[in-house]
Structure 1
Amino acid sequence: MQLHITGLSKTYPNGVQALDDVTLSIPRGMFGLLGPNGAGKSTLMRTLATLQDADSGSVQLTDVPGTINVLRDKDAVRRVLGYLPQDFGVYPKVSAEDMLDHLAQLKGLSSRGERKDVVERLLKQTNLHDVRKKALGGFSGGMRQRFGIAQALLGNPKLIIVDEPTAGLDPEERSRFHNLLVEIGEEVIVLLSTHIVSDVSDLCPHLAIMNKGRVLLSGTPQALVGLLKGRIWVTSVSRAEVDALKAQHTVISTRLYSGKTQINVIADGHPGPGFEPAEPTLEDAYFAAIGGHVGMKRSLVADGAFVDTSSVIV
Structure 2
Amino acid sequence: MELVIENLSKTYPNGVQALRDVSLTIPTGMFGLLGPNGAGKSSLMRTIATLQEADSGSIRLGDIDVLRDKDAVRRVLGYLPQEFGVYPKVSAEALLDHFAVLKGLSNTKERQEVVTALLQRTNLYDVRKKNLGGFSGGMKQRFGIAQALLGNPRLIIVDEPTAGLDPGERNRFHNLLSEIGENIIVILSTHIVSDVSDLCRNMAIINKGQVLLTGDPLQVMQELRGQVWRRAVAKEELAALQQAQRVISSRLFAGQTIVHVLADAQPGSEYTPVEPSLEDVYFARIAEAERGVTLNPDKVAVS
Q: Distance in 2 between matches of 1:61 and 1:273?
A: 52
**How far apart are residue 278 of structure 1 and its match?**
1.0
Q: Which residue of 1 aligns with 2:272?
A: 276
Q: Which residue of 1 aligns with 2:299?
A: 308
**How far apart are residue 110 of structure 1 and its match?**
0.4
User: TM-score by structure 1 length?
Assistant: 0.93
Kept after mapping to 1: 8 A contact 2:248/2:260: yes
The residue type paired with residue 36 of structure 1 is: P
Residue of structure 2 aligned with 1:138, choices 134, 146, 152: 134
Residue of structure 2 aligned with 1:266, choices 256, 262, 268: 262
**How far apart are residue 296 of structure 1 and its match?**
5.1
Aligned positions of 1:206-221 closer than 5 A: 206-221=202-217
**How far apart are residue 227 of structure 1 and its match?**
2.6
Aligned positions of 1:168-183 closer than 5 A: 168-183=164-179
Cα deviation, 1:69-99, whole Å, max 9, x if unaligned, reads 0011000000000000000001111100000
Residue of structure 1 aligned with 2:231, choices 222, 235, 258: 235
Query: Which stretches in structure 2 are left out of the alignment for 5+ residues?
Result: none
Kept after mapping to 2: 8 A contact 1:289/1:295: no
User: TM-score by structure 2 length?
Assistant: 0.97
Q: Distance in 2 between matches of 1:290 and 1:243?
A: 18
Q: Distance in 2 between matches of 1:128 and 1:295?
A: 48
Q: Distance in 1 between matches of 2:235 and 2:269?
A: 17
Cα deviation, 1:14-54, whole Å, max 9, x if unaligned, reads 11100000000000000000000000000000000000000
**How far apart are residue 295 of structure 1 and its match?**
6.5
Runs (4 or more) in structure 1 with deviation over 6 Å come to none
Q: Distance in 1 between matches of 2:273 and 2:135?
A: 47
Kept after mapping to 2: 8 A contact 1:232/1:265: yes
Find out whether 1:42 has 2:38 as its counterpart.
Answer: no
SS at match of 1:308: coil
Kept after mapping to 1: 8 A contact 2:29/2:185: yes
**How far apart are residue 61 of structure 1 and its match?**
0.6
The residue type paired with residue 188 of structure 2 is: L
Residue of structure 1 aligned with 2:91, choices 95, 105, 126: 95
Q: Which residue of 2 aligns with 1:21?
A: 21
Kept after mapping to 1: 8 A contact 2:295/2:302: no
Larger mean Cα displacement after TM superposition, 272-281 or 159-168 = 272-281
Number of residue equivalences = 300
Q: Distance in 2 between matches of 1:296 and 1:112?
A: 55
Query: Which stretches in structure 1 are left out of the alignment for 5+ residues?
Result: 298-305
The residue type paired with residue 59 of structure 1 is: I
Cα deviation, 1:154-183, whole Å, max 9, x if unaligned, reads 000000000000000000000000000000
Kept after mapping to 2: 8 A contact 1:216/1:295: no
Over the aligned positions, Cα root-mean-square deviation in angstroms equals 1.2
Q: Which residue of 1 aligns with 2:6?
A: 6
Larger mean Cα displacement after TM superposition, 132-141 or 287-296 = 287-296
Q: What is the percentage of aligned positions where both structures have the same residue?
A: 67
The residue type paired with residue 313 of structure 1 is: V
Residue of structure 2 aligned with 1:154, choices 140, 144, 150: 150
Q: Distance in 1 between matches of 2:245 and 2:217?
A: 26
Cα deviation, 1:90-118, whole Å, max 9, x if unaligned, reads 11111000000000000000000010000
Q: Distance in 2 between matches of 1:178 and 1:142?
A: 11
